[in-house]
A = this chain, B = another copy of it.
Amino acid sequence: MTIPKKVRLVEVGPRDGLQNEKQPISVADKVRLVDDLTAAGLGYVEVGSFVSPKWVPQMAGSAEVFAQIQRKAGVTYAGLAPNLKGFEAAVEAGVKEVAVFAAASESFSQKNINCSIAESLERFVPVMEAAKAHGISVRGYVSCVLGCPYEGEVPAEQVASVAAELYAMGCYEVSLGDTIGTGTAGATRHLINVVGTRVPRDRLAGHFHDTYGQAVANVYASLLEGVAVFDSSVAGLGGCPYAKGATGNVATEDVLYLLNGLGIQTGIDIDQLAAAGQRICAVLGKENGSRVARAILASRG
């Protein structure tokens, strides 16, 4: 298997990232972040989430963000829609692509979204139907694919079942999330081999957390298995909700540095990307979580 010549990066900073930052930020700052990211060349940005602001206050104003961003041709602006109510709000906001999420671990599903894996999948049926009716694409997330904070190891076959159900339901792509970052390169390759028997590899994405410093290696391991789509978060926005103070989402800059080194095309400008990350970190008053961004900034003195 040769590694892909082209990779699509799915930028999850404005949603998955900001959702896990303590401090909610303004609609204007979110809009600026999304526009900065697409100006840097990102072709896919998860902009916000259509959930109750009671549960996720950081995602309040997602409709306003969608209304105010400068839509660039060829860019996908997606929103998370956990249920039909969220989906309807997304449609009203003019969203053309939504994401749904399920867990590969029962305990995580119960604690995170308060229902079993099977129940969560049932909940997506009307969302999928409505999406089809509206001509809206749906992307699926599976969390805890390489470990669960409550159960520990998660069998690859269990991940494959959930991924296959999402794919069969109509998700055009399934993103495999190492939610707690405990996956390593060998386990990643094994996972892709197992899930790849149920969902075509060109319909899989890797979503790695860098909590144990393994995410870039896991992206490389996934490339070796033919995966060509990766989720990442500018400046490593988000942190790790399961270990406060630890690293969460892999930084987009760090993944891009790997891809550039491998000669893989993405169309993204790394300096502009790092500047976008640094700006949002200044707004949040936090240190930049990207090693590449820190090195670029440090080398400029």
Contacts and interface: CB of A to CB of B under 8 A. Distances in A.
Interface string A286-297: 000011101101
Contacts of A111: none
A98 interface: no
Nearest to A183: B261
Interface in A181-226: 181, 183-187, 210-214, 216-217, 219-221
Contact of A211 (B181, B211, B260, B295): B295
A247 B254 CA distance: 13
Contacts of A211: 291, 295
Contacts of A75: none
A282 interface: no
The number of chain A residues touching the other chain, given as a range, is 35 or more
Contacts of A184: 257-258, 260-262
A243 B213 contact: no
Copies in the complex: 2
Contacts of A45: none
A261 B185 contact: yes
Interface string A238-280: 0010111111000100100110111100000000000000000
A73 interface: no
A298 interface: yes
Contacts of A251: 213
Contact of A298 (B219, B246, B297, B299): B246
A263 B189 CA distance: 14
Contact of A217 (B216, B292, B298): B216
Contacts of A181: 295
Nearest to A211: B295
A295 B214 contact: no
Contacts of A292: 212-213
Nearest to A298: B243
B244 A298 contact: yes
Nearest to A300: B243
A212 B246 CA distance: 18
A290 B210 CA distance: 11
Given A184-B262, A185-B261, A214-B258, 14 more contacts: A184-B257, A185-B258, A186-B261, A186-B262, A210-B213, A212-B257, A212-B291, A213-B216, A213-B291, A214-B216, A216-B216, A217-B258, A240-B295, A243-B298
Interface of A: 181, 183-187, 210-214, 216-217, 219-221, 240, 242-247, 251, 254, 257-258, 260-263, 290-292, 294-295, 297-299
18 contacts: A184-B262, A185-B261, A211-B295, A213-B254, A213-B290, A214-B257, A214-B261, A216-B216, A217-B217, A217-B219, A220-B220, A220-B221, A242-B299, A243-B295, A243-B299, A245-B294, A246-B295, A246-B298
